[in-house]
Structure 1
Amino acid sequence: MDSCTANLMSRLSSIYSQHRTSGLRSDRSIMPNSTSNSLRTISSVHLPYNHRARNFHISHAAGDSSEHVIINGQASPCKVVQADAAALGTIAADMAPVVDGFSADDDELDLDSPTEGFSSIPEAIEDIRQGKYVIVVDDEDRENEGDLIMAASKVTPEAMAFIVRHGTGIVCVSMKEDDLERLELPLMVTTKENEEKLRTAFTVSVDAKEGTTTGVSANDRANTVLALASPNSKPEDFNRPGHIFPLKYREGGVLKRAGHTEASVDLAMLAGLPPAAVLCEIVDDDDGSMALLPKLQDFARRENLKIISIADLIRYRRKRDRLVECVCVTPLQLQWGSFQSYCYRSLIDGMEHIAMVKGDVGDGQDILVRVHSECLTGDIFGSARCDCGNQLALAMTMIEKTGRGVVVYLRGHEGRGIGLGHKLRAYNLQDDGRDTVEANEDLGLPVDSREYGIGAQILRDLGVRTMRLMTNNPAKYTGLKGYGLSVLGRVPLLTPITNENRRYMETKRLKMGHVYGTRPSGNTSTLADGGIKKEQDQIDSASEQE
């Protein structure tokens, strides 16, 4: 069994624990492997869709990382959400400000505002530019620790003494791959052999030959760091091994990997300095353990240092970096009418997204917009467990009726960002009594890990500036506002409530702040009464509310 299949098997293992007495079952089966048919079923779940039961199987094709969904023997590929994808999402529903009544106003969400208790990214960049240290904290679900970081080109013996006094003593320098290759500094172990928990890419350790004695003093280590940061250094300028540990920076920085290695180089480059940075983990002065956030904040106040989070740095870069490129535009005749389709490729992960544009949106003003998260079971197969497919169809119908608008279809958002296999596991937990929020939490996954910066950049590239947003989700509204887009108002998507999705819809309203209807309190009568409205009534109602 290859590692990808093993990983998927592990992620889906809880599905196979029992059969469902209610008629919803989960199975495990392995299809015969051969050169002509190498697709192996690793997970199954039985879902109602279009009022009939269907068998959904998650399968893995040998030799690639794609998941496939099979219904009654027909396979369809679905992109896997890679492990690093979790690091890219920072504006999750449980992190977004609560918008009472989901009112739309003219205020802009400032993505540069720091998380409570942290300094702003611009403040940290300025301190890096001035040769000061900053403290950078990662996510509590990752290392949950803080590093002292400064630009390598600005290091002094005094600064090195400070980092040795308050850190672990293992001083690292994060560098770009080109510079590591120029200095002929290979990885300490190959990527395949790297067993470090977070796959930190250590190279061989070094000391500078000139100006050092033992290599371990603050003066010697500062001298080595300056030599590593110099564009004029050569391979023969260093002894191997040594007392400074270079780290390989991953291109794309924190947008690719939410680690201290990437954050440190990103900060140096944002400060206009050479792409190399010193970093060292901070220890608790009391017992020598790794200092966690409360102690880090005390330390920052005591030493007058800025403290920032990698999550804030990700948001800062997402607002400023170009994240997508348009690769193709073509007309399509759809069941709703004729649309122009725009294919966009993410510059972060290569994933392709599509925008369906109706009419002339060139003036960018007052555009009817739907930003839709991929849901294969709902959008393609008509699963009755969610309202996704109905919302997409209703949005397309409303735009066709209006004669102008945009639907942005974001891939990689399956199951609110947890991926197809995890979503089916969550369905099985829901059959055991959990709601959609509890199921994600029981799997150790975020309630909502979607991020809307890609969608916002697609809209801006299309020329959209002000919009009427078709959504019931306040996190989506909040997630788009910080990217220079103005939301003039909200157009609710009122879709039928069914026996299969009623609890799901009610959970989204009660626990995730979704708003149904146009009144500030939200129109929840359909949920409370259990009534099922016909789709045409919903379309007509929503059209009148425009």
Structure 2
Amino acid sequence: MDSAALLPHALHFPRHVLHRNSLLHPLPSGAAAAQPRNRASFATSIAVQNQNGYALKDETDSAPFGTVSAEITSETIDFFVSDAEGDPDCPTPGYSSIDHALHILRQGKFVIVVDDEDDGAGVVEGNLVMSAAFTTAKHVAFVMKHGSGIVSVGMAEEDLVRLKLPLMSPETEDEDSSAPTFTITVDAKSGTLTGVSAADRAKTVLALASAESNPQDFRKPAGHVFPLKYRNGGVLRRAGHTEASVDLVMLAGLRPVSVISAIVDPEDGSIASLENLRNLAAAHNIPIVSITDLIRYRRKREKLVERTAVSGLPTKRGIFDAYCYRSKLDDTEHIALVKGEIGNGEDVLVRVHSECLTGDIFGSGRCDCGNQLELAMRLIEEAGRGVVVYLRGHEGRGIGLGHKLLAYNLQDLGHDTVEANIELGLAVDAREYGIGAQILRDVGVRTMRLMTNNPAKFVGLKGYGLAVVGRVPVMTPITEENKRYLEAKRVKMGHIYGSDIRGDTLSGMFDQGTDAPEQSKDV
């Protein structure tokens, strides 16, 4: 696959990307400078040099490692990030917006909630969801017809404690945080017969939804309605259907009690395909929303961190103010190193750095993380104004320290950094940057020049009242140990090692007196 195809579609670069210090290729005599090409091809164009100057030459994934510069460069690259793509309020194509779903839920109607198509088999699980407070026998009959037959009710922990509904299997919560947590099943005592009919189940759901109910109002443990424990933090802690359903009804301004049921194929009873979900939605005018969109929606609107301490911090790169932040989701502590006065927050030099114990602390040669952090602090010190946000919990691009070491073993057997994660059944990059964006907002940043080689950060920081107005490449020395790692990130993850050209010459690159680059040395 062309490496440019791996980049987020929200990125549009107005000029060519120049990979500095690349291979020499002779130009035809009198050849004109290359004209601008399709923007999507920027990741596969490299600059070539000879006695006559520079031109652009197309290269694909086979481009040699020499296209990655070993020099440190600090020039800013301007770019534009689409206002539509990557916007937390813009739904995934083919799905409804979260705001529309909230409007529907307030009317006592169903929405369909789907998870990510990420189980390796292309299966999307869709669930019918509505507010439990509006439940009627007709709603339950619809769930029984199109769902698995199991009527579940998502509930907050405090309501489960109030109604004395213990977990069906307490070990589930401890052993598998990704699994749904069922309580014992229940039937309402008042106004029901066997509890199995649609009317009886509707009365049970309404009793569970009522803030006035008490433990004596239910027959248990052998009932026909299945309460589910909602994990505090919702989809920001567990991206499951239970959490999504309760989050949605709460965002709609309703009591945090939801009706939820998995939708099945009408023919064979298997989990309904996305096509089946769309057919059901079209037939009954039900909006479909994704859990991913709900996560983005919440992250934009809720403050997820709190500042806990500030102190001066002398470092070998200068004196910074260290701000400690605690995540409200998982209590992880993060730090921001602030240099100088942020003032109006405009045009601030920023580095959002992911924790790397092996690289940042032990100086591992397998990556460039420690060198990038060192360089970022040096450039900010020289600028006299800027911020380094150090995000913990990002070890190994979010897979954790132990998994990262296992991935190293696979790399020693010939896998690259991307292949190793896939071989372990892990995400290539599981990081998210919403916490970092909120920290930047809190220290006063509004527009920034972002020090990064990673295009994913451009989009990851959008939607929080921040604007990225330029990119500063973070170019650190290439070594024998890290060169394959860096090349895999360039080819397979779209990382950009280089600079834009203003027009078709290098005049714009060196307008601040920077010397023209020399050819890369062998490493």
TM-score range for the pair, normalised by the shorter chain length: 0.7 to 0.9
Q: Distance in 2 between matches of 1:388 and 1:301?
A: 49
**Structure 1 residue 189, shift from structure 2 partner:** 2.5
- Structure 1 equivalent of residue 460 of structure 2: 479
> In structure 1, which of residues 366, 369, 384 is the aligned counterpart of residue 365 of structure 2?
384
Matched with 2:97 is: 120
Q: Which residue of 2 aligns with 1:80?
A: none
Aligned: 1:135 with 2:112: yes
Deviation at 1:391, TM superposition (A): 0.9
Matched, 1:512 2:512: no
SS in 2 for 1:428: helix
State how far apart, in whole Å, the 2-side matches of 1:464 and 1:368 are. 9
Q: Does 1:191 align with 2:171?
A: yes
Equivalent residue for 2:182?
202
Equivalent residue number for residue 67 of structure 2? none
Is 1:343–2:324 an aligned residue pair? yes
Distance 2:318 2:232 in 1: 42
Distance 1:128 1:357, change over 3 A: same
Aligned to 2:341: 360
Q: Partners of 2:408 and 2:145 in 1: how far apart?
A: 51
Instruction: Show the counterpart of 1:178.
Output: 158
**Residue range with higher mean Cα deviation, 174-183 or 352-361:** 174-183
C-alpha offsets along residues 138-182 of structure 1, whole Å, 9 cap, x if unaligned?
Answer: 233468411111000011111111111101111011111111121
Q: Classify 1:192/1:201 alpha carbon distance in 2 versus 1 (closer, same or farther; 3 Å).
A: closer
| Larger RCO (CA within 8 A; separation ≥ 6) | 2
Secondary structure at 1:301's aligned position in 2? helix
Matching of residues 87-486 of structure 1 within 5 Å: 97=10, 99=12, 100=40, 101=42, 104-105=79-80, 107-108=82-83, 109-141=86-118, 144-191=124-171, 198-240=178-220, 241-486=222-467
- Offset at residue 196 of structure 1 (A): 7.9
2:189 maps to amino acid = K
Q: Is contact 2:11-2:81 (8 Å) kept?
A: no
Tell me: CA distance 1:366–1:103, structure 2 relative to 1, closer, same or farther (3 Å).
Answer: closer
Q: Distance in 1 between matches of 2:451 and 2:186?
A: 56
Give distance in 1, aligned partners of 2:490 and 2:419.
Answer: 14
Identical-residue share of aligned pairs (%) = 62
The alignment's TM-score, normalised by the length of structure 2, stands at: 0.80
Distance 1:127 1:530, change over 3 A: farther
In 1, the alpha carbon distance for the partners of 2:115 and 2:172 equals 25
- More deviation, 130-139/392-401: 130-139
Deviation, 1:421, is 1.6
Q: Secondary structure at the match of 1:191?
A: helix
Q: Deviations over 1:353-385 (max 9, x none)?
A: 110000011321111100001111111122222
Give the aligned residue type for 2:482.
Answer: N
SS of the equivalent of 1:298 reads helix
Query: Structure 1: where are the runs of 5+ without partners?
Result: 1-92, 533-546
State the distance in 1 between where 2:79 and 2:439 align. Answer: 21
Deviations 1:289-310 (A, max 9, x none): 1113232122222222111111
For 2:497 and 2:183, locate their aligned partners in 1 and report how far apart those are by CA, in whole Å: 54
Q: 2:367 is aligned with what amino acid?
A: C
Aligned residues of 1:187 and 1:201 also touching (Cα < 8 A): yes
- 1:265 and 1:193, CA in 2 relative to 1: closer, same or farther beyond 3 A? closer
Per-residue deviation at 1:413?
0.8
| Superposition RMSD in Å | 2.4
What is the CA–CA distance in structure 1 between the aligned matches of 2:385 and 2:492, rounded to whole Å?
Answer: 34
Paired residues of 1:502 and 1:530 also in contact (CA < 8 A):
no
Structure 2 CA distance for aligned equivalents of residues 228 and 190 of structure 1 = 21
Q: Distance in 1 between matches of 2:320 and 2:314?
A: 6
- How big is the shift at 1:261? 1.0
The alignment partner of 1:242 has SS state of coil
Q: CA deviation at 1:402?
A: 0.6
The residue type paired with residue 433 of structure 2 is: Y
Given that 2:389 and 2:436 are in contact with CA atoms closer than 8 Å, whether structure 1 keeps it comes out as yes
Distance change in 2, residues 1:434/1:527 (3 Å):
farther
Counterparts of 1:485 and 1:192, CA distance in 2? 40
Contact 1:98 1:513 in 2 (8 A): no
User: Given that residues 236 and 295 in structure 2 are in contact (C-alpha distance below 8 angstroms), is that contact kept between their aligned partners in structure 1?
Assistant: yes
CA distance in structure 1 between the aligned counterparts of 2:361 and 2:228, rounded to whole angstroms = 44
Aligned partner of residue 201 in structure 2, secondary structure: helix
- 8 Å CA contact retained: 2:172, 2:181: no
Determine if contact 2:7/2:455 at 8 Å carries over to the other structure: no
C-alpha offsets along residues 205-262 of structure 1, whole Å, 9 cap, x if unaligned?
A: 1111222122111111111111111111122211122111111111111111111111
Q: CA deviation at 1:191?
A: 3.3
